[in-house]
Amino acid sequence: MTTTTDPRVAGARVDGLLVAGGRSRRFGRDKRRALLEGRTLADIAMSKLRAVVDGDLWVAGAGTFQVSGGAALVDDLDAGAGPLAGIAGGLMRTRRGVLVLPCDAPLITLDTLSAIVRTARRSDAVVALRSARGWEPLVAFYPKSAFPQLAAALREGQRSPHRLLDRLGAIALRVGRTQETWNVNRIEDLAAAAQIAGRA
């Protein structure tokens, strides 16, 4: 297992991973292409990752979907096993770790993402946002060293990243504004996000 004393890791860049899988059943159409203030949800998320990481940008679970900006597609470690498999796929490619962001949380701020990255650089541990709902495992940093545990969980049929965060000893960052973790799951959620963004 790689440790934080490894100079190759200590000097390595933080990569960004956009989680863009799912079938958008509740939304009724591909929500990655849904527009908020004239931009797709996927492009909004990717631009935020691009602003706070200094490494490569990848997209997990995208299939044939293309995101602007030249981000490379990453294969899930276990096809069809959900976002945990996408995160594991990203960890296979990274040297240090990945900052993860889903395409359906458009109100997450750059300040929040930057705080996750700063904490990750100091600790080299899993760092995840924690809201009133509990862990937000798709707004998080996962170090390379977490890969064996993610891979083992997938082999055991455990697909929920929520359950892994305590086992991984994740550091919790409290969200500053509860509206930041608003998820766009339905059409009406998108309309509400537009209203919230307009008031910000």
Is the backbone of residue 185 left (phi > 0), alpha (psi -120 to 50) or beta?
alpha
Is 4 inside a domain boundary? no
CB atoms within 10 A of CB 155: 10
pTM of the full structure = 0.86
Is 3 inside a domain boundary? no
Q: What is the mean pLDDT of residues 5-19?
A: 68
- Number of domains the chain contains: 1
CB atoms within 10 A of CB 197: 15
Q: What is the mean pLDDT of residues 145-165?
A: 89
Judged against a pLDDT cut of 60, whether residue 23 lies above it is answered with no
| CATH code of the domain in which 153 resides | 3.90.550.10
Q: Which of 46-50, 147-151, 184-188 is predicted least confidently? A: 184-188
Is 191 inside a domain boundary? yes
Report the SS3 class of residue 45. Answer: helix
Is 97 inside a domain boundary? yes
Is 144 inside a domain boundary? yes
Q: Write the CB contacts of 107 (distance below 8 Å, at least 6 apart in sequence).
A: 179, 180, 181, 182, 193, 196, 197, 200
> Which domain, by its residues, includes 121?
14-199
Q: Which of 11-15, 38-42, 90-94, 143-147 is predicted least confidently? A: 11-15
97 versus 192: the higher-pLDDT residue is: 97
Judged against a pLDDT cut of 90, whether residue 125 lies above it is answered with yes
pLDDT in tens, 24-41: 566 556 777 787 888 888
For residue 115, name the pLDDT band (cuts at 50, 70, 90): very high
